[in-house]
Every structure is written in structure tokens, then in C-alpha cells.
């Protein structure tokens, strides 16, 4: 009994001693505090605010996640044009998102109808804005073909609603992407209770929503109408927690708004089209793919669909879809989206149907010696214009700047409600090693230093090359409009000494189309077309950069 009491007393003393030691040596828990200062996070009194609930980027409407990686770009089996512009080179692309399908007529018509509502063509000052977004339906006409049914019906008839849009220039595709960004983010703010409900249906010229305007000058969004910008159910509670105006609005650090919709780069498009995930052993590709699907043939080998074409393309002279009763690709012109199986990323029609615009300016080479990470030729760096009061300049209905394209189309450079963009200057370029000027489209292949006329002494690097000393001797079309933008002065280049069509206004398109033979279905094939012109066989799809982690699943089995 005495022994038991002594043992119990010793255990009690040991427990008390351990408790005291642990209490003395207890380290402070910084789980809910800043690792930089120790200040409490998200305190009502102020201090550092962090979105601790953020998980990862949400997938935007219509998009599919494409995990980035390394691949051999430009490797083709056939070079039918013998232009040697597919030299294989190893590239790496970051993870991104891409449209599951090509942009359809119905999707593009939403853009057209919105523009018509906000910028009524019945008003003279907005007519060119509406005209600038309309697809060119005359692309279907052929001197020796009867295609008027497509000219009159393809864009708007419900029978073609889910067919890929065509007759859209590269410039129009970029503008659609910008519009789509704003409409998606506008809906996010409304659904989160930040902005007024249904404000998107009541937009007017000068009172539209722009993502960049909201992030940089929120008080000027919706034409400065704060009752819309902060009229949602959650805005009042946000205002009560905010000690100053900087936290009255959603900011980039909140992680709520989507990154920009845009055209994919050539490297991204080719990587996504190949879909090499099925040919992998650990971190090595087992082989190569000629098409977005497995195998070396364009016809299906499955028992139920044996002999059917796996894409919509031209099988031969006068053969766009097989014979009556055996339409082996199911289409004469374009086909409805999702008519064929997707590739291994889940993307449809990455070969055939319509070829697709990508973001890049065309050059015969891909300069992998200078860059092999997120390769892209076409950077023109701009910044927000600032007025004399230090505020960003937002475009108004009275300050729209119009550009006249080489084909005579007049387009608005920036729409009312958007922030005016100007080229970067010495403030951004001084003593930088990455870039030295705003326009980098012809860097290392078209600029002054890359010509045989270059002399390194006594010349200004920013000087434009004189006529006859350009890297690419392409036509120079001069089209100008009078002050009222009603009459065009067209001066076509009639010179017979031109040797190429390559310049800074031609863009790459990829993927083959319903008009093309099978060798153009190879994802590595590349062609180019003027950025302000359209055809009946080029469409597009959008992409979006991924922010954060490369993978959505983290570590997983390697085979």
C-alpha cells in the first residue's frame, strides 16, 4: 500500500514537471499569422489580409485543362510545300486552359448581338463599331461555285448554330476574346453579390464593364456609376469591414476574377493538339503521333465505325465527304462541333473541320536558340495611359480612336469604358535585359539587326528600315479614311518587285480544315494569312493561362 502511494506521488511530480517544462518551451503558433511579421492575418483592426480559402484557379466556361510539359514542336512527316518552316525544336509550355470546341456561330452571335445593343449601328458614331465585329459572310462565294445558301444562312440560321464560326479575321478573334473576358468576370461579380443584379443586361455605351478598368480604376467602371459597381448584397458588409477605399472593391489578390481569354500561342495549340499523354512512360514519350489521334491513318479501325474518317477534311479532288449512303466524314463543308472523338486532352476537332487562328506572327523559323519556354512571337508591350492628375485614362464615346486596316475595315482600337493603352517607353525599358522596346514582333528575324544592310556603328537601333532594305520585301497597302470615316482612299501596292507576303501583320493558322488534304491535319503543319482578312475555312478557339500549380492532381502514378 505504501509502495503504491509512493509510486503515485512520483508520477504526479513527473507530470507537473513535464507540464511546466512544456509551458516554458512552448513556441508561438504562427498558423494564422504572417510569417514575415507575426501579425495576425485578416484582423478586423487591419494588417495583412490573405485569401486563405483560395484553392486553385476555377475552370472558365467552355474550357478544358491542359497540363503543360515538354514536347518536340515542328516535327512533321510530310513537307508538301517544301518551305522548310517546320524544323523540329524542343519547347516547354506552362499549363493552360483551352476551349473544348471551336467557337461556334451561336457563341459569336452573342458578341454581335451585345455589340448591337450597346453600340447601336443606327447611331452614326457607333456604326463602325458594329460593322467591325460582323463576320464576312461573303467568304463563301466562289466565281465558279453556287454557295449562296451558306452566304445567306451559315452565320444566323439555327441549323448552323453549333457549327464553327468562319469569316472572322484574326483581329476580330482577338476582340471576341477580350469581350468574353469581360462578360465572364462581370457575371462572377454579380453572382458573388458585388455588383447590381442584372446590370449586364442594361449596359450602355460608356457604361460597360471592363475587367482591367475594374481592377485599376473601379470608381470609373460602368461609367462611374457606383450604385452598380457596389450595389450587390455583399457590398455593404464589405464596406463595413473596410478602413479605406482600397478594400471596397474586389482586387486581383482576392483571386476571384478570371485571367484573360485569348488566342492560344502556336506552341500551346500544337502541344494541345498532339495530346501526347497517352504515349508516355514515366517522363519519356514512347513515340510520336502524326495526328491528334493514335495511329498513322485517318480512318477508324473500330468495328462499329470501321472505314469512317476521324476528321472532316477533303479526301481528294472533288471528294469532300464520300458518296451517297456512305458519307465517311459526315460533312460537305464544316461539321457540327463534337461530331468526332476528342483527343487525349478532351479537345474536339484539333484536326479538320476548320483551321484555327493562333496568336503568333508568322516567321519561317521558330527561334528556339533564343527561347524554348512559352515560345511566342508577337509581343507588343503596352501600359495604361495616365492623365495629368495621375489617373488612368478611360476611353469615352467622344475619345474612340479608330484604325483603318489594309482591307479597308475600320475598327475601334479601344471601346468606351476600357483603359486607353499606349506603348511602353524608357521608364519601362531602361537598362532592362529582357526587352528594349514596345514592339517585338520582328525581333531577331525582320528587325534592322537581322538584315544584310545592318551596320553597328553610327545608327539608331530604333530607326525603321527604309524601303528596299527591309528583311521581308512584302507589299505595303495604304488605306486611309477621311475624318468622317465614310470614304476610303485605297492605294494598293502595284510593285512587281515584291518577293514575299511575310510581314508583321500575317498570323499563323493551324490544324487543317474541310477544304484541306490530310497532310495539313498534322498538328505541326503551319501556314499564315493576313491578320485583317477572313476565309471560309479558318475559325478559332480561345485559351486561358493557368495561375498557380502546374498540375490539378499533384503527385500521381507515372505510368
Kindly compute the dihedral angle of the four CA atoms of residues 318, 319, 321, 323, in this order, to the nearest 10 degrees.
Answer: 100
Would the pLDDT of 460 be above 70?
A: no
- C-alpha–C-alpha distance, residues 382 and 428, integer Å: 10
Most confident of 54-63, 76-85, 460-469, 535-544: 535-544
Confidence of residue 556 (pLDDT cuts 50, 70, 90): low
Would the pLDDT of 34 be above 60?
A: yes
Alpha helices in 223-286 (DSSP H): 226-229, 235-241, 266-274
- For 539-550, the pLDDT digits (tens) are 999 999 999 999
- For 344-376, the pLDDT digits (tens) are 999 999 999 999 999 999 999 999 999 999 999
Would the pLDDT of 297 be above 90?
A: no
Confidence of residue 172 (pLDDT cuts 50, 70, 90): very high
Output the pTM of the full model: 0.90
Would the pLDDT of 405 be above 90?
A: no
In this prediction, residues 61-75 reach a mean pLDDT of 94
Rounded to 5 degrees, φ, ψ at 384 are: -70, 135
What is the pLDDT, as a whole number, of residue 274?
93
Confidence of residue 241 (pLDDT cuts 50, 70, 90): low
- For 91-146, the pLDDT digits (tens) are 999 999 999 999 999 999 999 999 999 999 999 888 899 999 999 999 999 999 99
Residue whose C-alpha cell reads 495526328 in the numeric block = 291
Would the pLDDT of 14 be above 70?
A: no
Domains of the chain, first to last: 63-192+256-378+511-545 (3.90.1580.10)
Distances in Å between the Cα of 110 and the Cα atoms of 44, 103, 171, 402 are: 43, 11, 17, 23
Rounded to 5 degrees, φ, ψ at 427 are: -60, -30
* Residue among 114, 173, 497 nearest 358 (CA): 173
- For 249-281, the pLDDT digits (tens) are 999 988 999 999 999 999 999 999 999 887 676
Tell me if residue 419 falls in helix, strand or coil.
strand
How are the residues of the chain apportioned to helix, strand and coil, as percentages rounded to the nearest 5?
A: 25, 15, 60
Contacts of 304 (CB under 8 A, 6+ apart): none
User: Which burial class, exposed, middle or buried, applies to 376 when counting CB atoms under 10 A from its CB (0-12, 13-18, 19+)?
Assistant: middle
Return contacts of 457-466, CB within 8 angstroms, 24+ apart: 461/436, 462/437
Query: CB atoms < 10 A from the CB of 463, how many?
Result: 8
What is the pLDDT, as a whole number, of residue 294?
81
Distances in Å between the Cα of 138 and the Cα atoms of 147, 156, 257, 408, 533 are: 10, 14, 38, 15, 12
Confidence of residue 27 (pLDDT cuts 50, 70, 90): low
In this prediction, residues 44-63 reach a mean pLDDT of 86
pLDDT, mean over the chain? 87
- C-alpha–C-alpha distance, residues 401 and 204, integer Å: 18
Edge-first strand listing for the sheet containing 261-262: 63-66, 96-99, 543-545, 261-262
Tell me if residue 399 falls in helix, strand or coil.
coil
User: Which burial class, exposed, middle or buried, applies to 189 when counting CB atoms under 10 A from its CB (0-12, 13-18, 19+)?
Assistant: buried
Question: Is the CB of residue 339 less than 8 Å from the CB of residue 351?
Answer: no
- For 474-501, the pLDDT digits (tens) are 988 877 765 455 567 778 888 888 889 9
Tell me if residue 10 falls in helix, strand or coil.
helix
Distances in Å between the Cα of 275 and the Cα atoms of 74, 297, 341, 348 are: 15, 16, 13, 11
Contacts of 408 (CB under 8 A, 6+ apart): 479, 488, 490
- C-alpha–C-alpha distance, residues 250 and 186, integer Å: 12
User: Which burial class, exposed, middle or buried, applies to 182 when counting CB atoms under 10 A from its CB (0-12, 13-18, 19+)?
Assistant: buried
Confidence of residue 404 (pLDDT cuts 50, 70, 90): confident
What is the pLDDT, as a whole number, of residue 179?
97
Which residues in 421-435 are b (16+ Cβ under 10 Å) and which e? beebeeeeeeeeeee
Q: CA 370, 371, 375: angle at the middle one, nearest 5?
A: 135
What is the pLDDT, as a whole number, of residue 457?
65
Amino acid at each position: 500500500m505504501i509502495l503504491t502511494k509512493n509510486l503515485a506521488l512520483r508520477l504526479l511530480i513527473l507530470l507537473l514537471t513535464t507540464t511546466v517544462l512544456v509551458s516554458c518551451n512552448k513556441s508561438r503558433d504562427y498558423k494564422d499569422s504572417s510569417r514575415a511579421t507575426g501579425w495576425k492575418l485578416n484582423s478586423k483592426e487591419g494588417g495583412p489580409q490573405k485569401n486563405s480559402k483560395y484553392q486553385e484557379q476555377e475552370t472558365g466556361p467552355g474550357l478544358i485543362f491542359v497540363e503543360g510539359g515538354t514536347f518536340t514542336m515542328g516535327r512533321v512527316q510530310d513537307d508538301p510545300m517544301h518551305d522548310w518552316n517546320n524544323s523540329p525544336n524542343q519547347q516547354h509550355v506552362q499549363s493552360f486552359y483551352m476551349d473544348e470546341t471551336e467557337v461556334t456561330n451561336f457563341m459569336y452571335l452573342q458578341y454581335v448581338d451585345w455589340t448591337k445593343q450597346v453600340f447601336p449601328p443606327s447611331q452614326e458614331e457607333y456604326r463602325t463599331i458594329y460593322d467591325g465585329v460582323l463576320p464576312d459572310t461573303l467568304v463563301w462565294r466562289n466565281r465558279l461555285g453556287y454557295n449562296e445558301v451558306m452566304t445567306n444562312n451559315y452565320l444566323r440560321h439555327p441549323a448552323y448554330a453549333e457549327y464553327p464560326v468562319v469569316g472572322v479575321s484574326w483581329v476580330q478573334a482577338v476582340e471576341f476574346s477580350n469581350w468574353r473576358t469581360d462578360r465572364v468576370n462581370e457575371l462572377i461579380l454579380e453572382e458573388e453579390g458585388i455588383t447590381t443584379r442584372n446590370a449586364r443586361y442594361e449596359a450602355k455605351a460608356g457604361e460597360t464593364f471592363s475587367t482591367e478598368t475594374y481592377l485599376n480604376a473601379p470608381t470609373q467602371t460602368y461609367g462611374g456609376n457606383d450604385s452598380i459597381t457596389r450595389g450587390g448584397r455583399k457590398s455593404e458588409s464589405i464596406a463595413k469591414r473596410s478602413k479605406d477605399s482600397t478594400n471596397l472593391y474586389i482586387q486581383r489578390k482576392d483571386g476571384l476574377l478570371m485571367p484573360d481569354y485569348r488566342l492560344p500561342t502556336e506552341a500551346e495549340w500544337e502541344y494541345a493538339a498532339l495530346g501526347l499523354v497517352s504515349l508516355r512512360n514515366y517522363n519519356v514519350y514512347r513515340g510520336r503521333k502524326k495526328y491528334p489521334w493514335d495511329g498513322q491513318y485517318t480512318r477508324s479501325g473500330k468495328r462499329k465505325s470501321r472505314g469512317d474518317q476521324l476528321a472532316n477534311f477533303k479526301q481528294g479532288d472533288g471528294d469532300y465527304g464520300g458518296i451517297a449512303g456512305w458519307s465517311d466524314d459526315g460533312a460537305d463543308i464544316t461539321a457540327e462541333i463534337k461530331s468526332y472523338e476528342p483527343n487525349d486532352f478532351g479537345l474536339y476537332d484539333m484536326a479538320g473541320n476548320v483551321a484555327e487562328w493562333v496568336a503568333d506572327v508568322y516567321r519561317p523559323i521558330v527561334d528556339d536558340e533564343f527561347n524554348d519556354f512559352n515560345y511566342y512571337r508577337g509581343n507588343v508591350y503596352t501600359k495604361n495611359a495616365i492623365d495629368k492628375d495621375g489617373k488612368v485614362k478611360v476611353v469615352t464615346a467622344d475619345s474612340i480612336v479608330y484604325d483603318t486596316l489594309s482591307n479597308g475595315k475600320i475598327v475601334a482600337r479601344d471601346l468606351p469604358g476600357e483603359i486607353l493603352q499606349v506603348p511602353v517607353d524608357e521608364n519601362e525599358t531602361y537598362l532592362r535585359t529582357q526587352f528594349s522596346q514596345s514592339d517585338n514582333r520582328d525581333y531577331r528575324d525582320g528587325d534592322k539587326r537581322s538584315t544584310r544592310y545592318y551596320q553597328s556603328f553610327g545608327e539608331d537601333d530604333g530607326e525603321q528600315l527604309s524601303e528596299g532594305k527591309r528583311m521581308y520585301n512584302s507589299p505595303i497597302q495604304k488605306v486611309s479614311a477621311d475624318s468622317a470615316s465614310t470614304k476610303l482612299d485605297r492605294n494598293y501596292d502595284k510593285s512587281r518587285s515584291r518577293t514575299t507576303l511575310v510581314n508583321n501583320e500575317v498570323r499563323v493558322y493551324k490544324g487543317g480544315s474541310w477544304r484541306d488534304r490530310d497532310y495539313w491535319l498534322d498538328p505541326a503543319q503551319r501556314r499564315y494569312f493576313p491578320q485583317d482578312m477572313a476565309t471560309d475555312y479558318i475559325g478559332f478557339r480561345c485559351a486561358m493561362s493557368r495561375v498557380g500549380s502546374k498540375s490539378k492532381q499533384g503527385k500521381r502514378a507515372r505510368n
